[in-house]
Amino acid sequence: MSSEEDHPDRSQIAHEGVEAGGHRVDAQGFRSRLLAWGRDHVRSFPWRETDEPYRLLMAEVMLHRTQVRQVLPVYERFIVLFPDVAALARASRESVHAVMGPLGLHWRIDLVADMAADLVGRFGGRVPSDREALLSLPGVSDYIASAVRCFSFGLDDALVDTNTVRIVGRVFGLPTKPSSRRNRRFRDLHVALLDRERPADYNYSLLDLGHLVCLSRRAPECERCPLLASCATGAARLAVTA
Ligand code: SF4
């Protein structure tokens, strides 16, 4: 395995394949197998049934460092009480705290209230699609901006988080650590692998593969993984157990 800190230029992104750490992946095969798996396995959540930017933005803020099962009831109540930016901007901070309080991370509740005021004040109550505009909002990280751009506006942003980095690292046999999601080399690999024609389906599939198959706290379930044919780690693990 090569060092994660290698210069990003050493990840050679070729037209027909993506190469890093001495391992080459057929990008088109990777995408088509992942998308085929996603058709049957991508999970359904209320925020995945909409492309409304405000709902996506609120869901992504709530999901930050928080379990989906905690977010579900809070999100559904939140959207009923504050169905759009204007309603949220009119609401008292106390009422927003009352709804989001069960999620913890109370600092983000104030950020949500600040965000609503900012959206009304600077963007006419609409969530912008421009990356820099999104990043200028209180509480919007690079990941949240990319998620809103991809899932609401259909833009081909690659989503890079600890789960997707773990998968990509294992596929190429590259070591990862928590800071790897900010590593340029991993970002380049995510961009090179992304399906630009179906970015939302691709990103949902990759995220859910990390929750259902290429696990974090338990051993990855390579035997049933759609990416096994592309994966350096999967090939090594199955060779050892064969
Ligand atoms: S083959 Fe195994 S290690 Fe590779 S991506 Fe799939 S589950 Fe993860």
Q: Tell me the pLDDT tens digit for each residue of 126-154.
A: 999 999 999 999 999 999 999 999 999 99
pLDDT one-digit tens code per residue, 29-42: 999 999 999 999 99
Could you tell me the residue ranges of all domains in the chain?
8-42+157-241, 52-153
Burial class of residue 183, CB neighbours in 10 A (0-12, 13-18, 19+): buried
Taking CA atoms, 140 is separated from 9, 58, 137, 182, in Å, by 29, 10, 6, 16
Q: Which of 25, 206, 231, 241 to mutate to test the pocket of ligand 1 (most atoms within 8 A of CB)?
A: 231
Q: Which residues pair with 23 in a beta bridge?
A: 20
CATH number of 52-153: 1.10.340.30
Phi then psi for 161, rounded to 5 degrees?
-135, -175
CA of residue 221 to ligand 1 center, whole Å: 7
Residue of 90, 136, 135, 131 whose CA lies nearest to 113: 90
Type of residue found at 158: A
Complex-level ipTM: 0.99
Domain boundaries 8-42+157-241, CATH class: mainly alpha
Give per-residue pLDDT as tens, 204-222: 999 999 999 999 989 999 9
Distance CA 184, CA 116 (A): 32
231 lines ligand 1 (CB under 6 A): yes
- CA quadruple 191, 195, 200, 201: dihedral sign: negative
